[in-house]
Chains A and B, each alone.
Chain A
């Protein structure tokens, strides 16, 4: 309608009047079902089900629990706590020091190191364990010497220290990128103003690091440390190969050994309590102190040039986690893979089903990323309080180890199958159940990124769309989804890599005959076919490396951009 022909302002334009009058004419109005609220509730309920199953079935009857408490439980708990403490204690310096050096100093190799230091993320802990678990064998002559000199007790203690020490160092190096990324981001961006102020007030570099940068970066470091702790608690492959029985290993033994789901669920609950307890302890210790990054801006810190021995030292410090956590294992795997392929005429190892693994990971990634974006959007329509509740529920799975989610899903699918619902095929032992478990476990990744992306888009843009006549659904498809492309691609990359690497949950839930790269590698390694296992292991690593580099550039957190 041209402006010149606009009707007199007193009369409503026909379309407007029709809409409003039509609306008025529908009285008495029946409230429409809140489809968005329904969507949020159903998805949140589905994601909560396995966790609820763990909690609800804790009081069930268990045959193995009593003997478990008497014999192994203390050991499982102690091993878990000791391992978590050791790994976190080692991962912190392995992540923080390189982060500080690449953020605040200039030395040869800094640029390449600053992004290569995230590469250990591509190496699953169980793959690293394939490489390292036989290293203590090299120390056998020394251990024998200890036994002949100091006796059996000393031998056992030395063997234990060697095994735990090596496992902890390996896990710390492989998981150090969680701390490194958090610390690097905090040092380069959030704490810049505080560090510069400390320097101007007379602190040297080391003093500024200890007095200002570390305390200011504490929330980020704690978050990184919490990720490490959760990954250690979740680990099954590495502890299996190193013979360290943790709670996670206990769940497997109890489930596969005695088939006692209730006992496995109780172990799972203990594992959750351990992780939650550690996080609560940190919060308690933090007390009332606040570590907000007031005055943060996006300019990077001015870096100090290091030369000579100092430069060499800095380079070496950065190289340590990279070597232990990536370069050495990958080189070793590469060598083994080459030997295997050369011997087998470059045929892939028997049982390796690349299509299955990639297909399942890709399918679950796409579905979960879309659903997470939709869920975050729908939750936003529901106001502040319910939104927080729904988002917390949907993100819960990430804090819960894979083995726990797996037994929860087993419990749920078992219960559903027993109902024999018409039109619903059996769920237990299907790819659908596995994909569902993946979604429960990893939904937090696309959800958090979608949520952050929606925050950045801002409400006014969505409201503008609504006021211009678009329904919430059209607004999601036409405005939010295209604008979420960046965060969703990042989420998809992270999710895809995590799914390819996932082991404990897949081991428990995979259908008979179904193999992923991770389970194939694990099976081959369990049969001590290390050369053959190197091929799928390297494929998992390769699938993880490229997306990580892309992600680092996309997130723009790399100091090499500065």
Chain B
């Protein structure tokens, strides 16, 4: 099968905001496959938003190439970059960035210039229905809730049928319950459309709920890229591990090599089991409602910092108390 052309590709892309300062993005090679939702995750200043803006044409690279559908649109020594308005990418901003003086319908219709009025109306209604807000067209942004605004922003970005959808932390300003519901809805919409998307986020929950692959950025450099669960299970560094959730540093008793284990990977080995990773002392026990969490102090050789683990429901043993010693194993 012929290799498909990636809708978005960064080749050795760099971007520096001030000469002499450290680059916001350095030598990034990354491609988004057709129909894929790729999440870019990283802490503040990791360069994830810069990368997204480079894709949209809102920033210019200092080095490397940005390609859309295989065509060079920025960098690579071209004299004139393709301006944002000609890239035909959709962008959903953190707070929606709806045009406050336009109704929801007018917002959605904004990117549909040059079409017949009836076709625009039909498309707007179709998009409003898609985001489950039919009949909301006459409302102004200030008359919408936070979640509704984000859905209208999505409808607006999707209305011109963009080749690529960029989502810049679209859930970060929503309360947790709404965030949870909205990301499910948006994932279903994007999946239904087969929409290629690049999601920028600092929240691992967004990654798990929406993306198929994840790219982890640290100080402008790409640290790890791969399928979400694969990266989650096999992070290459503490930064990569902790970008996707809590992780415990476990040392291999033989060579002292470090590995990263998730709290839910904790197991209680059968007595004398060869899988036992070592002994640990229970320092604290905390019930959170959904589960019981333990803080363990591993014996020397097994680890050199506290482990935070979830007590397995299926253990069938009494929950230990602070001061108890327990044997520890990890899910293979």
Contact = CB atoms under 8 A, between A and B. Distances in A.
B88 A470 contact: no
A21 B193 contact: no
Nearest to B122: A2
Contacts of B95: 460
Contact of A463 (B5, B7, B84, B98): B84
B161 A13 contact: yes
A112 interface: no
Nearest to A17: B69
Interface stretch (B72-80, B178-186, B202-210, B292-300): B72-80
Given A460-B93, A460-B94, A463-B97, A469 B73 contact: no
Nearest to A12: B69
A8 B166 CA distance: 19
B69 A466 contact: no
A316 B99 CA distance: 48
B84 to A, nearest CB: 4
A467 B192 contact: no
A71 B108 CA distance: 72
Contacts of A6: 161, 193-194
B83 interface: yes
B85 A469 contact: yes
A463 B56 contact: yes
A528 interface: no
Contacts of A13: 88, 161, 163
Contacts of A8: 34, 194
A144 B156 CA distance: 82
Contacts of A471: 83, 85
Contact of A29 (B79, B87, B93, B126): B79
B286 interface: no
Most buried by A among B71, B90, B160: B71
A479 B99 contact: yes
Interface string A525-544: 00000000000000000000
A468 B71 contact: no
Contacts of B123: 1
Given A2-B126, A465-B110, A32 B80 contact: yes
A16 B78 CA distance: 19
B101 interface: yes
Contacts of A470: 85, 110-111, 113
Interface in A440-469: 458, 460-461, 463-469
A31 interface: yes
B44 interface: no
Given A10-B5, A20-B68, A15 B88 contact: yes
A10 B130 contact: no
A9 B85 contact: no
B196 interface: yes
Contacts of A465: 99, 110
A30 B84 CA distance: 18
Contacts of B130: 3
Contact of A23 (B58, B86, B99, B193): B86
Interface string A23-51: 11001111110000000000000000000
Contacts of B78: 27, 29
Contact of B85 (A17, A458, A467): A467
A466 B110 CA distance: 10
B35 interface: yes
Given A20-B73, A23-B73, A12 B126 contact: no
Contacts, number: 128
B332 to A, nearest CB: 36
Contacts of B54: none
Contacts of A458: 97
Given A468-B111, A469-B113, A470-B110, A461 B5 contact: no
A467 B56 contact: yes
B91 interface: yes
Given A27-B78, A465-B110, A467-B91, A12 B4 contact: no
B160 A469 contact: yes
B229 interface: no
Interface residues of B, number: 53
Interface string B89-133: 111011101111100000000110100000000010010001000
Contact of B111 (A9, A17, A469, A483): A469
B144 interface: no
A3 B126 contact: yes
B270 interface: no
Given A23-B71, A24-B71, A27-B78, A1 B110 contact: no
A295 interface: no
Contacts of B56: 463, 467
A482 interface: yes
Contacts of B195: 9
Interface in A467-507: 467-471, 478-479, 482-483
A458 B95 CA distance: 11
A19 interface: yes
A15 B123 CA distance: 17
Contacts of A2: 126
Contacts of B73: 20, 23
Contact of A467 (B35, B71, B90, B193): B90
B34 A1 contact: no
B55 to A, nearest CB: 10
B69 A468 contact: no
A27 B80 CA distance: 10
A3 B162 CA distance: 11
Q: Which of A3, A30, A470 has the most CB of B within 10 A?
A: A3
A343 to B, nearest CB: 53
A463 B55 CA distance: 13
B82 interface: yes
A306 to B, nearest CB: 39
Nearest to B195: A9
B173 to A, nearest CB: 12
Could you say which of B72, B113, B161 has the most chain A C-beta atoms within 10 Å of its C-beta?
Answer: B161
B83 A12 contact: no
Nearest to B101: A482
A467 B34 contact: no
A19 B4 CA distance: 19
B194 A9 contact: yes
A23 B71 CA distance: 9
Interface in A227-264: none
Contacts of B82: 20, 23
B88 A29 contact: no
A19 B73 CA distance: 11
Given A23-B73, A479-B99, A483-B101, A468 B193 contact: no
Nearest to B67: A20
Contacts of B99: 461, 464-465, 479, 483
A10 B86 CA distance: 20
Contacts of B153: 464
Nearest to B79: A29
A-B CB proximity, top 8 nearest: A468-B111, A460-B97, A9-B35, A9-B34, A466-B84, A29-B79, A460-B93, A467-B91
21 contacts: A8-B34, A10-B35, A13-B88, A15-B88, A16-B68, A16-B69, A20-B87, A23-B71, A29-B79, A29-B80, A463-B84, A463-B97, A464-B91, A467-B57, A467-B58, A467-B85, A468-B85, A468-B90, A469-B86, A469-B113, A469-B160
Interface of B: 4-5, 7, 34-35, 56-58, 68-69, 71-73, 78-80, 82-91, 93-95, 97-101, 110-111, 113, 123, 126, 130, 153, 156-157, 160-163, 166, 192-196
